[in-house]
Amino acid sequence: MTTSIPVESRTATEVAPYGTLRNFVGGALVDVAGSTIPVHNPATGAVIAHVPMSGSSDLDAAVSAAQAALPAWRALTMKDRVQVLYRYRTLVEKHMDELSQLIVEEHGKVMAEARAEWLKVMELTEFACSLPQIATGSVMEVSRGVECRTERTPVGVVASIVPFNFPSMVPHWTIPNAIALGNTFILKPSEMVPLSAMRTAELLAEAGLPAGVFNVVHGGRETAEAICDHPGIGAVTFVGSTRGAQAVYRRATSNLKRALCLGGAKNHLIVLPDAEPEMTASNVTASMSGCSGQRCMAASVMLAVGGDSAMDGIVKDVVKHAKALVTGRDIGPVISEAARTRIEKYIDEAEAAGARILVDGRNAVVEGKEGGYYVGATVIDGVTPEMKIAQEEVFGPVLAILRTATLDDALSVENRSPYGNAAAVFTEKGSSARYVAEHATSGMIGVNVGVPVPREPFGFGGWGDSAYGTGEITGEASIEFWTRTRKTTTKWNRDAGTNWMS
Ligand code: NAD
């Protein structure tokens, strides 16, 4: 098949294989010359599509289409522009089952997680629909008869480079806000999960988005580099590994573009002896195992504070919850064979360094899906700060438990991490929660919340090696990134007099 994803009433058997994908440029599917790479269903290992690696001429075509669409799109009022997004949100709701199934297929998520992604897409779109109420400018009479006015105008043609772990949510961190604010847009999906982006393009078109406002350019690293270099693109966002975030931030800003680049993570959950045991254990386990641990907000290290007697009960409960998770039913596969090998290596190395594997997810096999890339929930106790598993991003359903005598010891482990996406504390004491919130060096703090994602209208973003650039990628703080302010000073009143301004 060499077309887009068929729109309506597809079943699991009809959707595979998807053949060779095409770019979506100027409202139409266009062929890409050059090489392709296979896209695997991680639950089975089967090849479900081939994704093209776009070159700079393919990107040129998309930039030209976005430039052509810009004047008319920018000229609409914001209230008019968001009408498309109201309709798009309704279409997402209408197609929820089919869209979720697509994520199950291209990413391997279990159905509940795939649905949660599209529900989040709806929330992100709803926020963009509210932008006309909040992204207003301002005006003031600064001296008699003289008025200063600021108003928001779009940056122009903008682009987002996105990771594999949320095929629809992460692209929607930027798509709705950027286009509601009058920009035209190029999405480079992850080459590992390129299918949901095509349905997004189709549904936006069905919702009435004019051709060229939203474009999809498939590819990998070289395509992303071409985006950083293209003089027709004014702003770039990146979400992915820290290595990629650094590369894109450096390259895009050296080409004098705006850039906001979110990187990897190593999230610490601090558990204090007064934590509510059952809630803590279930939250910690859900945080480390949800989406197979492939979340930039996933719990990676549990810092168990206090003597062993205080913590043994909670650790036992975490083990109980982790053992109850059925691989293949509750935990989907990780994204690739390479990811599985990498994750299992971290576990092997921790074991060899003296850590104790309390729940072992290595060599997981799911009946009927023997070709899938499964790693079961894994809990490792006795981890020390110098172990690799305590320092590096594992990005799998693995919890490293590191015991510390005091809260300050726990915070010093968290503070030494170069990452700074999320940290959480589990306690029933307000002063301890406040102490952690003040002293952790992460951008997003959870208090009795294992996955502390700020929801709209609050902005998402970490510190340190988890994010480069200013502002946030979602919420109100993203308005600044997607707009330029025009500052106009006006004097209509001839009697206004003369001062230093005129
Ligand atoms: P990745 O960095 O390998 O790829 C991300 C995107 O960048 C892809 O589209 C890829 O084609 C492109 N890319 C890869 N290397 C590049 C380079 N050197 N220059 C330019 N582009 C490049 O990341 P991934 O494996 O797809 O995603 C997982 C990572 O993303 C994890 O580290 C995770 O923590 C991170 N992530 C972070 C956040 C956040 O909000 N901080 C959110 C989601 C995922």
Q: Please report where in the chains the tokens 């095929």 appear, as a residue.
A: 167
Q: Is the pLDDT assigned to residue 179 strictly greater than 80?
A: yes
* β-sheet bridge partners, residue 258: 235
Which tens digit of pLDDT belongs to each residue from 196-219? 999 999 999 999 999 999 999 999
- The answer for residues whose C-beta is within 8 angstroms of residue 19's C-beta and 6 or more apart is 1, 2, 3, 49, 50
Q: How far is CA 79 from the centre of its chain?
A: 27
Reported as a single tens digit per residue, the pLDDT across 275-289 is 999 999 999 999 999
Question: Residue 74: exposed, middle, or buried by beta-carbon count in 10 A (0-12, 13-18, 19+)?
Answer: middle
Q: Which atom of ligand 1 is nearest to the CA of 163?
A: 26
- The span from the CA of 203 to the CA of 168, in Å, is 13
Dihedral sign computed on CA atoms, order 162, 166, 172, 174: negative
Ligand 1 atom showing the smallest separation from residue 225 Cα: 20
Q: Name the token pair of 387.
A: 């172990």
Which string of DSSP letters, residue by residue, matches 419-454?
A: EESEEEEE-S-HHHHHHHHHH---SEEEES-SS-PP
Q: pTM for the whole thing? A: 0.95
Letter string b/e over residues 52-65, b meaning 16 or more CB atoms within 10 A of that residue's CB: bbbbeebbebbbbb
Whether omega for the bond prior to residue 17 falls within 30 degrees of 0, making it cis, is yes
Residue type, 246: Q
Task: Indicate whether 392 pLDDT > 70.
Answer: yes
In the reported structure, the alpha carbon of residue 403 is separated from the centroid of ligand 1 by a whole-number distance in angstroms of 31
Residue of 120, 186, 218, 221 to test ligand 1 pocket, by largest number of atoms within 8 Å of CB: 221
Distance of CA 10 from the midpoint of ligand 1 (Å): 30
Least confident of 274-288, 364-378, 486-500: 486-500
Q: Judge if the beta carbon of residue 220 lies within 6 A of ligand 1.
A: yes
The whole-angstrom separation of Cα 281 and Cα 337 is 30
Burial label, 126 (beta-carbon count in 10 A; 0-12, 13-18, 19+): middle
Kindly give, in sequence order, each residue whose CB lies less than 8 Å from that of residue 112, ignoring residues fewer than 6 positions away.
Answer: none
CA distance 330 to 289: 9
Q: What's the CA gap between 423 and 316, in Å, rounded?
A: 22
The pLDDT of residue 369 is above 50 = yes
Whether the CB of 246 sits within 6 Å of ligand 1: no
Looking at residue 22, its amino acid is R
- pLDDT tens, position by position, 13-45: 334 479 999 999 999 999 999 899 999 999 999
Q: Is the pLDDT of residue 95 over 70?
A: yes
Give yes or no for residue 190 CB within 6 A of ligand 1.
yes
Nearest Cα neighbor of 318 from 395, 426, 413, 407 is 426
The pLDDT score that the predictor gives to residue 492 is 81
Q: Is 52 in the pocket of ligand 1 (CB under 6 A)?
A: no
- Phi and psi based region of residue 270 (left: phi greater than 0; alpha: psi -120 to 50; beta: remaining): beta
Q: Which residues are catalytic?
A: 296
Q: How far apart are CA 190 and CA 467, in angstroms?
A: 19
Q: How far apart are alpha carbons 10 and 317 in whole angstroms?
A: 42
Q: Pull the structure tokens for residue 370.
A: 């023997």
Of the candidates 255, 262, 217, 207, the one whose C-alpha atom is nearest the C-alpha of residue 86 is 207
**Cβ count within 10 A of residue 90:** 14
Q: In the numeric block, which tokens belong to residue 214?
A: 């939203």
* Omega before residue 273 within 30° of 0, cis: no
Does the CB atom of residue 224 touch ligand 1 within 6 A?
yes
pLDDT recorded at residue 500: 64
Predicted confidence band at 308 (pLDDT cuts at 50, 70, 90)? Answer: confident
Q: Tell me what the mean pLDDT of segment 141-167 comes to.
A: 95
Confidence class of residue 499 from pLDDT cuts 50, 70 and 90? Answer: low
Name the residue with the closest Cα to ligand 1, atom 21. 221
